[in-house]
Structure 1
Amino acid sequence: MKGIIYSELVGFLDVKGGPSFTEEVLAGAELPHGGAFSRVSRYPWEQAVQVVTSASKISGADANDLCEEFGKFLFDRFTVLYTEIVERYPTAEGMLAHVEDHIHEEVRVLYPDAEPPHVASWKDDDGFVVEYSSHRPFAHIAFGLVQGCMKHFGDPRSINWVDRDPTGKTAYFRIQ
């Protein structure tokens, strides 16, 4: 996984609990590099799980809730880091409809070794569905990203998790 995600995770921890909390979480995660993440390097996704597990243990917060909060935080950061991409879309649904064919395609061009999750979306009789699929168990982060996207665009609709794989590798979210 790209280091930028880890750098943002560390930033999230700083906002969530302050620098001393972040230091305690990273020490508790027992990472081989002590939590010094480079934005341009690659790290095993399991290290993100170690960090979230440590944060959950120290804070007492549910790990899935932390992942969803991080997803919201991450979308806010994407609006700053990738303004030109976010501004191309007038609505949350418009952006979510193009995650795979536009946004992740740009990620693959910028970072040829990147392995972004597969995100599909479609309209049905009950609303708009977003499907997340990955070899990594980060569906809760994806749920937070979708929530953050909707908030950013002022979309008042509700989002519900309609189907989930207990491994966290796939999920379906319905916006209505």
Structure 2
Amino acid sequence: MKGIVFVELIRMAESVMGEEAVDDILDKVDLENDGAFSAVGNYPCRELLQIVDAVGAELGAPVEALQKQFGHWMFGRFVDGYPVFFEGKTDGFDMLESIENEVHVEVRKLYPEVELPTFATERLADGRFKMVYSSERPLHHFCHGLIEACLQHFKHVASIQMTERMDGEKFCAEFLMQKAA
């Protein structure tokens, strides 16, 4: 997993808890690099999950809620750092549709070794939208937060229903979205 995700998780935690508290947490968690992450490095996803677990335990927050909040945080970083991906998109569903065939294509050009989740999307009747997340990594709650933040960015009021399942070794989640009338 790319180091930028670790760097941003630590930044988010520091914004809530302070740098010293986060340093204490990182000292307690068994990490290969002792919590020193580079934005361009590659690190095991299990270490990200360990940090999320430790921060959640310290805050008394459910891990799923923390992952969702992190999704909101990361979406903000994507908007700030990669505005080109948002050009020409006037609708949150347009943005979500572009992840697999536009955003991930560009990410793979920069980082050919990166392991990305897959996203299948479908526009349904009555303005509903379906997105299916599939990955070896159990980050579907993080994805849920990204989706919420995307819809908020485009000023949509929408309901999002998430259905989790396993597909062999992969974590899958189906997100069914409906914009409010």
TM-score interval, normalised by the smaller of the two chains: over 0.9
Root-mean-square deviation (Å) = 1.5
Q: Which has the higher strand share?
A: 2
Aligned residue number for residue 169 of structure 1: 171
Would you say the 8 A contact 1:132–1:171 is kept in 2? yes
Matches for 1:140-155 after TM superposition, within 5 Å: 140-155=141-156
Gaps of 5+ in 1: none
- 1:1-176 equivalences under 5 Å are 1-125=1-125, 127-161=128-162, 163-165=163-165, 169-176=171-178
Give the whole-Å Cα distance in 2 for the aligned partners of 1:165 and 1:22.
32
Moved more, 81-90 or 41-50: 81-90
Q: Distance in 2 between matches of 1:55 and 1:168?
A: 25
Q: Distance in 1 between matches of 2:96 and 2:7?
A: 24
Tell me how far 1:30 sits from its aligned partner: 2.0
CA separation of 1:168 and 1:49: change in aligned 2, threshold 3 A: farther
Contact 1:164/1:170 (<8 A) preserved: yes
Q: 1:133 to 1:57 in 2, by over 3 A?
A: same
> After superposition, what is the alpha-carbon deviation per residue over 1:84-132, rounded to whole angstroms, capped at 9, x for unaligned?
1123411110010111001111110111111110011101236101110
Deviation of residue 73 (structure 1)? 0.6
TM-score (norm 2): 0.91
Conserved? CA contact 1:138–1:168, under 8 Å: no
Q: Is the 8 A contact 1:29 1:53 kept in 2?
A: no
Q: 1:159 Cα deviation (Å)?
A: 1.4
CA contact under 8 A between 1:92 and 1:150: conserved in structure 2? Answer: yes
SS, match of residue 169 in structure 1: strand
Q: Structure 2 counterpart of 1:100, which letter?
A: E
Aligned-pair identity in percent equals: 34
1:22 Cα offset (Å): 1.5
Paired positions, count: 175
Per-residue Cα deviation, 1:6-29 (whole angstroms, up to 9, x for no partner):
111111111222212221221232
* Residues in 1 aligned to 2:20 and 2:64: alpha-carbon distance in whole angstroms: 22
- Separation in 2, partners of 1:121, 1:142: 14
Using the TM superposition, give the Cα deviation of residue 63 of structure 1 relative to its aligned residue in structure 2, in angstroms.
0.6
Kindly indicate whether the alpha-carbon contact (under 8 Å) linking 1:119 and 1:132 is maintained by their aligned counterparts in 2. yes
Task: Classify 1:98/1:39 alpha carbon distance in 2 versus 1 (closer, same or farther; 3 Å).
Answer: same
> For 1:14, what is the secondary structure of its paired residue?
helix
User: How many angstroms apart in 1 are the aligned matches of 2:170 and 2:49?
Assistant: 12
1:37, distance to aligned residue in structure 2 (A): 0.5
Separation in structure 2 between the aligned mates of residue 68 and residue 168 of structure 1, nearest angstrom: 19
Letter in structure 1 aligned against 2:173? A
